[in-house]
């Protein structure tokens, strides 16, 4: 039987965090409750001892600034330390041909958890299968999933609206290749009566399989092709960049990028007073910086901050169990 990461089922200790499939709304509640406590720890400026004596390896085969920085800061906020392996394909034994499985088996001997980002979907699961002693946390596997991003996205939506059901959302950009989109749709499907409008160039629509999968899980998906068709007063907008590194060519990217842009005008026409404007970042032109000062724009404020609180909570739960 093929390896599947275990369901959380209220117990985080020692579990790999690979996919939103492992979570129930109850698990997400446990995480949110602890994240609120982490917010206080982060704010009070005193060193915390939650991860005292613990080491977390951050092994990133793909560029990252936010996720890498946020995981690193989370470990340090809790009094732990990190071993940072950036671009192992260039700088480590991986460049000599070491397999991923061997790399994981080696690093797990040094630490208490491993956070991995990799360009190939499914790699985090392979790492989790290889690791015998420490939990693996998926920090993004190709076009697959990005579970910690979704947990922070859900936290941000919940903070604003006080619920994760009966939401109307908008997701825009590279829906075919965006792992943050894929995980968030799985996350939203854990709750009832959510509707998501999907807007992308037709070349970057959700794959047929994904569309069917998320629909069967219970999210109502409505594909649209023009900004004019966006619903008014949605609860959230989730804009994403075209994933240049997943496309065939630079020309292909140039022709697809920035078809849909958040402008002051669009916000005035379509957003309501409670709509939040989200983006996993990095943005590369999809949101006019003039929108940044709008109080509804959370991509550079609470969304980023919640990322650290959520990762602090998750690391604490998988490493210490509380």
- Footprint on this chain of ligand NCD (rule: CB under 6 A): 66-67, 140, 146, 149, 179-180, 240-241, 280-281
CA distances from 284 to 65, 292, 307 (A): 14, 14, 20
CA distances from 232 to 70, 111, 152, 169, 263 (A): 33, 49, 25, 10, 15
The secondary structure of residue 296, as a DSSP letter, is T
- Distance in Å, CB of 188 to ligand NCD, minimum: 17
- Distance in Å, CB of 207 to ligand NCD, minimum: 17
The residue among 48 and 303 lying less far from ligand NCD, judged by its C-beta, is 303
Angstrom distance (rounded) from CA 65 to CA 60: 10
CA distances from 81 to 34, 72, 111, 251 (A): 20, 8, 9, 42
* Active site positions, annotated: 66-67, 96, 117, 146
Angstrom distance (rounded) from CA 183 to CA 129: 20
Q: How many CB atoms lie within 10 A of CB 63?
A: 13
Angstrom distance (rounded) from CA 158 to CA 298: 13
The residue among 50 and 312 lying less far from ligand NCD, judged by its C-beta, is 312
**Mapping DSSP to helix (H, G, I), strand (E, B) and coil, where does residue 15 land?**
coil
The residue among 107 and 239 lying less far from ligand NCD, judged by its C-beta, is 239
- Distance in Å, CB of 67 to ligand NCD, minimum: 4
- Distance in Å, CB of 243 to ligand NCD, minimum: 6
- Distance in Å, CB of 57 to ligand NCD, minimum: 18
The residue among 146 and 305 lying less far from ligand NCD, judged by its C-beta, is 146
Angstrom distance (rounded) from CA 179 to CA 300: 20
Angle, alpha carbons 29-184-208 (nearest 5°): 140
Angstrom distance (rounded) from CA 309 to CA 156: 11
- Distance in Å, CB of 153 to ligand NCD, minimum: 10
**Mapping DSSP to helix (H, G, I), strand (E, B) and coil, where does residue 34 land?**
helix
The residue among 80 and 140 lying less far from ligand NCD, judged by its C-beta, is 140
Which of 3, 240, 30 is closest to 136 using CA atoms? Answer: 3
Residues 6+ apart with CB under 8 A from 196: 168, 169, 170, 171, 185, 188, 219, 220, 221, 222
The residue among 66 and 161 lying less far from ligand NCD, judged by its C-beta, is 66
């Amino acid at each position: 039987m093929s390896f599947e990461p275990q369901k959380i089922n209220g117990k985080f200790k020692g579990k790999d965090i690979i996919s939103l499939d492992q979570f129930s709304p109850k698990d997400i509640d446990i995480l949110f409750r602890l994240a609120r406590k982490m917010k206080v720890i982060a704010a009070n400026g005193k060193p915390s001892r939650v991860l005292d004596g613990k080491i977390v390896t951050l092994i990133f085969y793909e560029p990252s600034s936010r996720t890498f920085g946020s995981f690193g800061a989370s470990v340090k906020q809790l009094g732990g330390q990190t071993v940072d392996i950036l671009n192992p394909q260039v700088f480590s034994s991986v460049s000599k041909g070491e397999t991923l499985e061997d790399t994981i088996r080696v690093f797990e001997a040094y630490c208490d958890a491993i956070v991995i980002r990799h360009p190939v979907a499914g790699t985090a699961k392979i790492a989790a299968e290889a690791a015998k002693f420490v939990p693996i946390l998926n920090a993004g596997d190709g076009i697959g999933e990005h579970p910690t991003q979704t947990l922070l996205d859900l936290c941000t939506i919940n903070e604003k609206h006080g619920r994760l059901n009966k939401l109307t959302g908008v997701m825009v950009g590279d829906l075919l290749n965006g792992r943050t989109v894929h995980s968030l749709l799985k996350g939203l499907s854990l709750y009832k009566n959510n509707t998501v409008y999907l807007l992308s160039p037709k070349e970057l629509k959700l794959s047929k399989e994904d569309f069917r999968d998320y629909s069967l899980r219970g999210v109502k998906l409505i594909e649209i092709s023009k900004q004019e068709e966006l619903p008014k007063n949605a609860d959230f907008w989730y804009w994403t960049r075209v994933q240049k590194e997943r496309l065939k060519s630079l020309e292909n990217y140039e022709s697809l990028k920035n078809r849909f842009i958040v402008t002051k005008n669009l916000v005035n026409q379509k957003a309501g007073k409670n709509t939040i404007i989200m983006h996993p970042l990095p943005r590369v032109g999809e949101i006019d910086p003039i929108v940044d000062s709008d109080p509804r724009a959370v991509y550079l404020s609470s969304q980023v901050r919640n990322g650290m609180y959520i990762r602090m909570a998750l690391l604490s739960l998988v490493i210490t169990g509380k």
